[in-house]
Amino acid sequence: MTFNNDQFSKLTAQYIAAKLSGDIPDPEDIKRSSSWGVLRHELQKKTRHKPVREMMEEIPDVITSLAPCLMMSPLSIAQFLSADQALFDVVIFDEASQITVWDAVGSLARGKQVIVAGDPKQMPPTNFFSRSDDDPDGDIDAEGDLESILDELIGASIPQRVLNLHYRSRRESLIAFSNSRYYDSSLITFPAPVHPDKGVSLVRPEGFYARGKARHNQGEAKAIVAEIVRRLTSSDPTIRSQSIGVVTFNTEQQSLIEDLLDKARSDDPEIEWAFSEEATLEPVFVKNLETVQGDERDVILFSITYGPDEAGHVTMNFGPLNRTGGERRLNVAMTRARSEMVVFSTMPPERIDLSRTQARAVADLKHFLEYAERGASALGAAVHGSLGDFESPFEIAVARALQEKGWELHPQIGVSAYRIDLGIVHPDKPGLYLAGIECDGAMYHSSAFARERDKIRQAVLEGLGWTLFRVWSTDWWTNKAKALHELDIALRGHLDHTREAAAQKEASLAEEASEQVAEDNPVSTVEQIQTNTQTPTASEAEDGDVVTRYVRASLESFSIDPEQFYSPAYDSDLLNMVLHIIDTEGPIHEEILVRRLAREHGFQRAGRQIRDRVKLAAEGKRNCTQETVGSFYWPENNSKRYARTLNRDDDVKKLDFICADELIAILELCGDKGQFVEFSQALGIGRLTQQMRERLEAVTRI
């Protein structure tokens, strides 16, 4: 029996899990005095459990048998593991460039072997933001900014392995500057099937840097928040589905952007989904230069913050960049994006006068702004690639034969040590490559291992959007006509497939556009519903068989006390509010219920603790139904039919927040026969997106 790479990996994981499970004794064979008996006794206790540290000292073999791999911070290790704890086989440090020596020593002492992973070109441990007030611009080096355990071990000549394959960036332009500036172009990156690659761009908003106590840039902050709202409300699902992160140069700019975002979320609840920790998409984050290491998002919005002040004067103080090692902080900030980075700066690069500062990071910032503005040309020939230069006579022969067949192509696609031999330009989309051609030359054989050549590298490229075809030199020289014909047929078949997929997408978009309401049909179907059903008022709606008006719950009669929100003494008050909202607005989605309570108590963000508190209060008190889009709570008297098309606020118009029963009732009330035009008019939601249509089609099949 033979296994491919994926099967072997899965079997290995299953084998390890089975082996660990096999070491756990049968419960009937466990003696009370044994280590396993001690653990079982602790699990059966309701109160007065032994501390974790005591358990680790008493039954370390049992704990490590159940959990052979423990993920802990240096502080947790000191807190939960005694100094004479049995040694672990191996201790692994991640992000070691940020771990101080004194924090690492305790962890090192608890392992027989150690693996330290980190990047000496990225951020060291820092106390920059705890600087004293007499250093407002951060240009004075603070004492105590010590080197990391990574630097100590490198200095001690511990054996090293360099990991030079870079996977995060889906566009080479996102890593090209750092690769050229900090890594001597040693990182192996992978090109995307686009030309030219414009992963980094520069936006110059109107504004200035407020020096002194404020230390922020309102122009950049407002532009960034506007860009976030634009992306989250875009009609293009590709843009809307990209995760977003914001990086700033200081905490003051971070706080300003967070405040503006809170206001934007309050003004437009439709974007709230992007900030939830429980959302499918990674939530939006706003972090400063000192706290962003280890985080990444599809799109990074980078606020340079510093720039000319209100009078137009420019100082050469750039906060943490003026300090020794500031270039490492800049390197971290520049490498957080997977697909795109948008740089927001009121500072023209030409205003940075390098004759007035010796800080390397300030010079790097100037060149990075030039790179964001001009692209690869700002870095010189090193990142231009070798377009027009073939690697071998074999590549030249293949390229000429394909050109004779009518294909346009570019040789050697990429800017690092790895390149795709030939890129076939898409005939319909000149900015995209239809496919990549790999010849079995030096580039193919540059990897010593077959798994890396034929599995990992191809998987990474396909993940970036490439379709790859291989041409073997032996086949070409043996029977050139046959090899060329097969390659040409494969390329044309792939082109037909992409055209068919594009046509289907255009037809779908055209169908959605034809259903727009306001412009094409000024007669509102809502009026028709009002006439036909003689819609009752809010009070009358409670007595009818069909409820058609949405009534929003008011908590004015309740005593709201935000300071007591988590107190057990507040349970009764909170329960009454929960039940009132459910009985007034039900069936109501759990997200809307949580938002109502959170906003009424003055919380701008509904985190996990708030959600758990509200859900626990509602649990078992009202009927709750589960759907793929979440849970819905129903009012105590749910014998009525709900088809509430009237008086719906924007936050409860989202289809994922309307239960399936109510969607069906609305469709029936509208007399909608499957096109959903009357439905969208009745709810006043305008154009239906593909996601909305899929939701409606799903509920109609129930």
Co-location of 318 and 436 in the same domain:
no
Question: What average pLDDT does this structure show over 559-587?
Answer: 90
Q: Is 298 helix (H, G, I), strand (E, B) or coil?
A: strand
Q: How confident is the model at residue 500 (pLDDT cuts 50, 70, 90)?
A: confident
Residue 1 lies in a domain: no
Residue 438 lies in a domain: yes
Residue 641 pairs with which residues in a beta bridge? Answer: 546
Q: How much is the pTM?
A: 0.65
Co-location of 375 and 406 in the same domain:
no
Residue 69 lies in a domain: no
What is the CATH classification number for the domain harbouring 415?
Answer: 3.40.960.10
Co-location of 475 and 529 in the same domain:
no
**Residue range of the domain that includes 634:** 525-700
Q: Is the pLDDT of residue 384 over 50?
A: no
Residue 695 lies in a domain: yes
**Domain end among 333, 348, 381:** 381
Q: Could you give the CA distance from residue 317 to residue 307 in angstroms, rounded to a whole number? A: 10
Co-location of 349 and 463 in the same domain:
no
Residue 176 lies in a domain: no
Residue 169 lies in a domain: no
Co-location of 370 and 264 in the same domain:
yes
pLDDT of 616-645, one tens digit each? Answer: 888 888 999 988 888 999 998 777 778 888
User: What was the pLDDT predicted at 279?
Assistant: 61
Q: How confident is the model at residue 219 (pLDDT cuts 50, 70, 90)?
A: very high
Contact indicator for 450, 482 with CB cutoff of 8 Å? no
pLDDT of 231-287, one tens digit each? Answer: 999 888 888 889 999 999 999 999 999 999 999 998 888 888 888 776 667 899 999
User: What was the pLDDT predicted at 702?
Assistant: 67
Co-location of 223 and 338 in the same domain:
yes
> Can you spell out the DSSP letters for 532-591?
HHT---TTGGGGSSEEEE------TTS---GGGTT-GGGHHHHHHHHHHHHHHH-SEEHH
Q: Is the pLDDT of residue 516 over 70?
A: no
Query: Which H or E run contains 57?
Result: helix 52-58
User: What was the pLDDT predicted at 143?
Assistant: 46
Co-location of 547 and 446 in the same domain:
no
Cα–Cα nearest to 692, from 663, 669, 668, 650: 663
Co-location of 414 and 352 in the same domain:
no
**Domain end among 482, 509, 536:** 509
Co-location of 503 and 544 in the same domain:
no
pLDDT of 649-691, one tens digit each? Answer: 777 888 889 999 898 888 888 775 566 777 877 777 766 777 7
What is the CATH classification number for the domain harbouring 266?
Answer: 3.40.50.300
Co-location of 291 and 427 in the same domain:
no
Indicate the number of domains in the chain.
3
Q: Could you give the CA distance from residue 209 to residue 228 in angstroms, rounded to a whole number? A: 21
The 3 state secondary structure assigned to 238-282 is HHHCCCEEEEECCHHHHHHHHHHHHHHHHHCHHHHHHHCCCCCCC
Residue 124 lies in a domain: no
Co-location of 599 and 481 in the same domain:
no
Q: Could you give the CA distance from residue 351 to residue 349 in angstroms, rounded to a whole number? A: 5
Residue 503 lies in a domain: yes
**Domain end among 361, 381, 401:** 381
pLDDT of 14-60, one tens digit each? Answer: 899 898 888 888 888 888 888 899 888 888 888 888 888 989 888 88
Amino acid sitting at position 531: T
Co-location of 459 and 531 in the same domain:
no
